[in-house]
Amino acid sequence: MSLRFYDTRAREVRDFTPLREGCVSLYLCGATVQAPPHIGHIRSGVTFDILRRWLLHKGYDVTFCRNVTDIDDKIINLAKAEAVEWWRVSERNQRAFTRAYEILGCLPPTVEPRATGHIPEMIELMRRLIDRGHAYAADDGSGDVYFKVDSYPAYGELSGQRPDEMRDADDGGGRAKRDSRDFALWKGARPGEPDWATPWGRGRPGWHLECSAMATKYLGGTFDIHGGGLDLVFPHHENEEAQSRAAGDGFARYWLHNGMLTMGGEKMGKSLGNSLLIPDVVQRVRPVELRYYLGQVQYRSSQDYSEEALHEAAAAYQRIEGFLTRAGEITGPVGTADVPAGFAAALDDDLGVSQALAVVHGHVRDGNSALAEGAKERAAGLAAELRAMLGVLGVDPLSEQWSGAGDSGLRGVVDALVSVAVEQRQAARARKDYATADTIRDRLAEAGIVVEDTPNGPRWELKHG
């Protein structure tokens, strides 16, 4: 089966063929950095990281652009409330987002442009729209520039709405708007707010304009995939597409949208407190378990958060991990293989992670049976395929990311030191000196190292959380 995706614009699953053979260009609307991220903010990051890893696995050269919206009303208001410059607020929160993506093992974007670093590109795009009769500068001297919705007949096609039934653009635009659906490309300067010069007056960019300018700067006028959360389809993506296509660009060839992470069936709001901020959640489950949780539902479905579901996901992940650990102990170091055909077919079919995970868990079951039967070779083969699948999902426990092997080689040093201690403990037990054996175990526990006696000898691991 060939790779295919549900394209929001076509409202159907379409075969995917990239614009340039062997290459995929992917734009994802990144964070508006007005607060540190909670897990609802990060689902799209994980979703599109799985997409990217699958494309890489299939041999594509992927250019992944994820922007940062570093200026908006909330950032400005927060800065005013704290009596600091706006960029202190956005810098602080951007770092929190970067850290959260790292914690969850998302590959860094190829390029991560910031909106305020691309004002010349935005001015250029507004110039093209005004020249073509699709935009106008407000005639009240406010500095606002608006997109003229009635000049673009395809407006509404992406979100599937008819222009005459559409709600007004809710962007706080001024009285100089000629039509209530017209939306702001540029917001004229207001006292005490940051602004930049344009031929039409000072001001700051509108959110939609930013993404059009950044996507086309890095990926070209026409590119393969535009992604984002389902809540961005209208007006944000409708407006991005209208601007770019009205200006003469092809823009995105496929639109992919991930469902929302909800709580009690409702979109996660600001009133969550700190308990769902990424650094807090990873005190309760390990980062890799959080990633497994966020990535286990097909990306288009909404996912309702609960602490129980999070811990169930962690337990499911630990069963996978447990098999790989036992397989490693019994059959030797686990290698990697290609992914099984069933897994590939599932991911090719609009990233069907539910079916893909069915193959993963099938391998764990069969692998455990193989170990129980002493079929070492079969167990080793299943373990290798399992690692390959987990790698695509970004949750391979034996990978450098999650095994700690990347920590400047310290894992090996710790392993050697712990082995010495564990041997001393074994020796103490052998001579029936249980007091010494217990002391060694307790000292290791204080250092966060748990020693477990198994039929294959003692095993140690770091205590989590």
Residue 124 or 329: the one with the smaller Cβ distance to Zn ion is: 124
| 211 counts as binding Zn ion under rule CB under 5 A | yes
Minimum Å distance from CB 122 to Zn ion?
13
Q: Which stretch binds Zn ion (CB under 5 A): 26-34, 49-57, 363-371, 394-402?
A: 26-34
Q: In angstroms, rounded to a whole number, what is the distance separating the alpha carbons of residues 115 and 14?
A: 31
Q: Whose Cβ is closer to Zn ion: residue 93's or residue 142's?
A: 93
Render the burial of 321-333: b for 16+ CB within 10 Å, e for the rest. Answer: bebbbbbeeebee
Closest CB to Zn ion among residues 205, 394 = 205
106 labelled ligand-binding: no
Report the C-alpha gap between 324 and 364 in whole angstroms: 8
CA dihedral sign of residues 309, 260, 267, 40: positive
Q: Is 29 annotated as a binding residue?
A: yes
Beta carbon nearer to Zn ion, 111 or 405:
111
What's the rounded Cα separation, in Å, for the pair 413 and 440? 18
Residue 196: strand pairing partners: 203
- Residue 311 annotated as part of some ligand binding site: no
260 CB-side CA count, 13 A: 12
**Part in contact with Zn ion (CB under 5 A); list of ranges 210-218, 375-383, 422-430, 445-453:** 210-218
Report the residue number, 227 or 367, with the smaller CB distance to Zn ion: 227
- Closer residue to Zn ion, CB minimum distance, 251 or 292: 251
363 is in an annotated binding site: no
Q: Which stretch binds Zn ion (CB under 5 A): 28-36, 47-55, 274-282, 297-305?
A: 28-36
Asked if 148 contacts 164 with a C-beta cutoff of 8 angstroms, the reply is no
Strand partners, 90: none
Task: Give the total of residues touching Zn ion (CB under 5 A).
Answer: 2
Range list of β-strands (E), 251-296: 251-258, 261-263, 266-267
User: Which tokens belong to 366?
Assistant: 């069969």
> Considering only residues 58-117, where is the footprint of Zn ion by CB under 5 A?
none
Q: Which amino acid is at 216?
A: T
User: To the nearest 5 percent, what fractions of the chain are helix, strand and coil?
Assistant: 50, 15, 35
Residues in the chain: 465
What's the token pair of residue 232? 């961005």
> One symbol per residue from 401 to 440: x for binding Zn ion (CB under 5 A), - otherwise; what is it?
----------------------------------------
C-alpha to C-alpha distance for 259 and 354, rounded to whole angstroms = 15
- The angle, 0 to 180 degrees and rounded to 10, between the axes of the packed helices 341-348 and 353-372 is 170
23 is in an annotated binding site: no
CB of 184 to Zn ion, least distance (A): 15
Could you tell me the smallest distance in angstroms from the CB atom of residue 116 to Zn ion? Answer: 15
Taking CB under 5 A as the binding criterion, the range among 123-131, 208-216, 304-312, 390-398 that sits at the site for Zn ion is 208-216
Stretch that binds Zn ion, among 12-20, 165-173, 207-215, 274-282 (CB under 5 A): 207-215
The annotation places the binding site at 29, 211, 236, 240, 270
**Residues in touch with Zn ion (CB under 5 A):** 29, 211
The annotation places the binding site for Zn(2+) at 29, 211, 236, 240
The annotation places the binding site for ATP at 270
